[in-house]
Amino acid sequence: MPAREVHLHNAHPRLKLDRRAVVKVVHTLDAHFRYTDADLPLLTPAARKTAEARLAASSSTSSCATGKNALPPATPAGELSLAFLTDAALARIHDDFLDDPTTTDVITFEGNAQLESAGEICVSADTATAFASAHDRDFSEELTLYIVHGWLHLAGYDDLKPAKKRRMRAAESRAMDLLRVARAVPKFVLTPRRSR
């Protein structure tokens, strides 16, 4: 199966990134991330249905057992859009689509299969740098985590209820470990603001 097309939009005036390295994040997750058995009951209904169908098909065509980490995620097929934004730009989107004018870290929009779109992930580089600085974390890791978070939403994870949020945090951790081992965490740089 060929790697999905990933469209990047860097609308942050101070964010520097390597486009190929960012695309590698999505391709690595698409190719190597797997659901665990504990994930399936907590997925969105559509993702659970797709995952269960894949599980049934794989168990009927293969003699090997389907255990932990055996099932690829039910991410939608099609191209994926990834937008890097400022806090102000993402807050406008947050307000326009979710009636909440506050800043946020990630907003994920589901795609449309008829348009061959997997969806769009919008992330705030400003929120990533502020959180990384306040919590002594690496900025590149934090911004990559936001991409992972959006990708997991497209794969059917939800974080609105405590049990689902715990599963999503565990999935984020597994995904970040996978990216580290694959040396697929891109280097992001947010240049300083120019003084006037």
* Number of neighbours of residue 34 by Cβ within 10 angstroms: 14
**CA angle, corner 128, sides to 126 and 129, nearest 5?**
65
The DSSP line for 81-137 is EEEEE-HHHHHHHHHHHHS--S--SEEEEEEEGGGTEEEEEEEEHHHHHHHHHHTT-
Report the alpha-carbon distance of residue 123 to residue 136 in Å, rounded. Answer: 20
What pLDDT tens digit does each residue of the chain (196 aa) get? Answer: 678 999 999 999 999 999 999 999 999 999 999 888 888 888 888 888 877 776 676 655 443 333 444 577 778 889 999 999 999 999 999 999 999 999 999 999 999 988 999 999 999 999 999 999 999 999 999 999 999 999 999 999 999 899 899 999 999 999 999 999 999 999 999 998 876 6
Sign of CA dihedral 170, 77, 186, 131: negative
Residue 12 main-chain phi, psi, to 5 deg: -100, 120
* pLDDT at res. 88: 96
**CA angle, corner 69, sides to 40 and 154, nearest 5?**
50
User: In which residue are the tokens 């299969």 written?
Assistant: 113
Q: Domains along the chain?
A: 6-34+75-190 (3.40.390.30)
